[in-house]
Amino acid sequence: MTGTSRSLFGTDGIRGLANQHPMTADVAMALGRALTIELKRFHKNPRIIIGKDTRRSGYMLEYALTAGITSMGGKAYLLGPLPTPAVAYHIRGLRAQAGVMISASHNPFEDNGLKVFQEDGFKLSDEAEARLEAIMFDPDEIESQRPSPEQLGRAERVDDAMGRYLASLKTIFRHDFDLNGLKIVFDGANGAAYECGRRLFEELGAEVIRQACEPDGFNINKNCAQEDPKIMGDLVRKHSADIGIAVDGDADRLMVVDETGELISGEHLLFELGMFLKKANRLATNLVVTTSMSNQALEKALKSNSIDCLQTQVGDRYVTQALKEKGAVLGGENSGHIIFLDQNTCADGLFSALEVLALLRTRSWKASRLRKSFERFPQRLVSLPVREKRPLEDVPILNQAIRDLEIRYEGTGRVNVRYSGTQAMIRVMLEGPNLAEVESDLSSLIKIVQKELGS
């Protein structure tokens, strides 16, 4: 697929408020048509996987997407509610040519999104997305490719899509790997993994206490660990559990709390996993890929253990791209996206959890040991709503404040101010040697952001 420009697609597919442009049934149908038309250049009867999370708007978008695919002669395979990485798995397992996940990930239920995966299970490139957009808004192209009645496609539900996905996760590990004797609090964010997370850990022998595993179409990412890690930490202490494991709405992110209920940072998880893979001779090119939002103490800790560290811009797709370019296998974000490129094509919260549990079992560690390998530098991150995403260079007062802080923190810390790629939010992150100074400077910066850009 080739193309030049994009307007619908953002940093993680198409995303927006459900039933308002661009997250409408019309756009979903147009995407289904365009994807099928593009694939028919190479495949006579393209197969396309469709997965979704638990948002009420998923029904509308699922059926519209299916209509678009079948109206152009494609075959749609419907998985129902399953994690995003399950779409990537089933593309390969069912020998399909593409897949679409209907989800807005960690966003509230009002939002939804469309993430497109290609035949090898990786997300589409910017160029491929631009090509799809060009077809979506080209009525002449659509009419010229419209099939006759006997050439229309069809749709079918995939039998035991969950069981197949879970089997694929378990078979990656040694046959003697189990979770017997472990008590796990699992928080499913009332999302795509609400059932398969419990099944996975129970089938491996763990006792599972469930939290946020009762989706009603409106409570995804609500009253759960993704909203407040303390919720899971309190449950771990209440039930004397060994560990707490949480995923977000589409289960591509992982959050872990230890047996004392304390959150383990994404940096600590990446560090220990890097060390674990290195000892197992799995850490290809001796490199871990992170993003510009990761705490600098992670890079220092990795390098002190002779592991290289490369930072990319924020976004799991950019981490994946760097891993492919460098021939590396482990990368992630402090938000919980962790990618094992030797096993998967995208971040998978449940698989990442199994890797963490395998590490703990192999080393006979309690989960709290994971956060004792190094001290993170004082860092604070806040997300603030904005009226509009004005270029920061067009906000002189804020721009000057950022420059002043960058000069003062040079060599000792970092300032990172960026818009969210998926929400009307701005992320403000400060990191430095002194916590009180970081919090004071952050407070001043927040006031400027709220005055100049706040909703």
> Domain 14-161 - what CATH class?
alpha beta
6: pLDDT strictly greater than 80: no
Question: In 3D, which of 222, 162, 212 has the Cα closest to residue 186?
Answer: 212
Per CATH, 265-371 and 379-453 having the same topology is answered no
How does pLDDT run across 175-186, given as a tens digit for each residue? 899 999 999 999
Q: How big is the chain, counted in residues?
A: 455
Q: Is-contact 158 94, C-beta < 8 A?
A: yes
421: pLDDT strictly greater than 80: no
* pLDDT band at residue 2 using 50, 70 and 90 as cut-offs: very low
Kindly tell me the sign of the dihedral angle through the C-alpha atoms of 121, 127, 133, 139: negative
- Give the catalytic positions in this structure: 105
Per the model's pLDDT, the better-predicted residue between 38 and 420 turns out to be 38
Record the tokens describing residue 238, joined without a space: 């209440």
Instruction: State the CB neighbour count (10 A cutoff) for residue 137.
Output: 12
**Cβ contacts of 78 within 8 Å, gap of 6 or more:** 50, 62, 66, 155, 156, 157, 158
| Calpha distance 200→22 (Å, rounded) | 35
Q: Is-contact 314 298, C-beta < 8 A?
A: no
Rounded alpha-carbon distances, angstroms, from residue 39 to 12, 36, 164: 21, 5, 25
Q: Is-contact 102 61, C-beta < 8 A?
A: yes
pTM, rounded to two decimals: 0.92
| Calpha distance 310→129 (Å, rounded) | 26
Fold adopted by 379-453: TATA-Binding Protein (3.30.310)
4: pLDDT strictly greater than 50: no
How does pLDDT run across 246-300, given as a tens digit for each residue? 999 999 999 999 999 999 999 999 999 999 999 999 999 999 999 988 999 999 9
What's the CATH architecture for 178-261?
Answer: 3-Layer(aba) Sandwich (3.40)
- Written as one letter, the residue type at 384 is L
How does pLDDT run across 365-409, given as a tens digit for each residue? 999 999 999 999 999 999 999 998 999 999 999 999 999 999 988
How does pLDDT run across 222-231, given as a tens digit for each residue? 999 998 999 9
pLDDT confidence of residue 81: 98
1: pLDDT strictly greater than 70: no
Helix axes 126-136, 25-39, angle to 10 degrees: 110
Burial (0-12, 13-18, 19+ Cβ within 10 Å), 169: buried
* pLDDT band at residue 3 using 50, 70 and 90 as cut-offs: very low
Selected from 3.20.20.120, 2.60.40.10, 3.40.120.10, 1.20.140.10, the CATH number assigned to the domain covering 265-371 reads: 3.40.120.10
Query: DSSP of 365-398, one letter per residue?
Result: --GGGGG-S-PPPPEEEEEEEBSS---GGG-HHH
Mean pLDDT of 64-80: 99
pLDDT confidence of residue 454: 84
Burial (0-12, 13-18, 19+ Cβ within 10 Å), 403: exposed
Question: In 3D, which of 215, 220, 180, 221 has the Cα closest to residue 201?
Answer: 180
Q: Would you list the domain boundaries of the chain? A: 14-161, 178-261, 265-371, 379-453
pLDDT confidence of residue 175: 87
> DSSP state, 285?
G
Mean pLDDT score across all residues of the chain:
95
Record the tokens describing residue 426, joined without a space: 């701005």
| Calpha distance 105→291 (Å, rounded) | 19
How does pLDDT run across 316-354, given as a tens digit for each residue? 989 999 999 999 999 999 999 999 999 999 999 999 999
Q: Is-contact 103 79, C-beta < 8 A?
A: no
Q: Which residue has the tokens 């969210």?
A: 420
- Written as one letter, the residue type at 140 is D
Q: Radius of gyration of the chain from Cα atoms?
A: 22
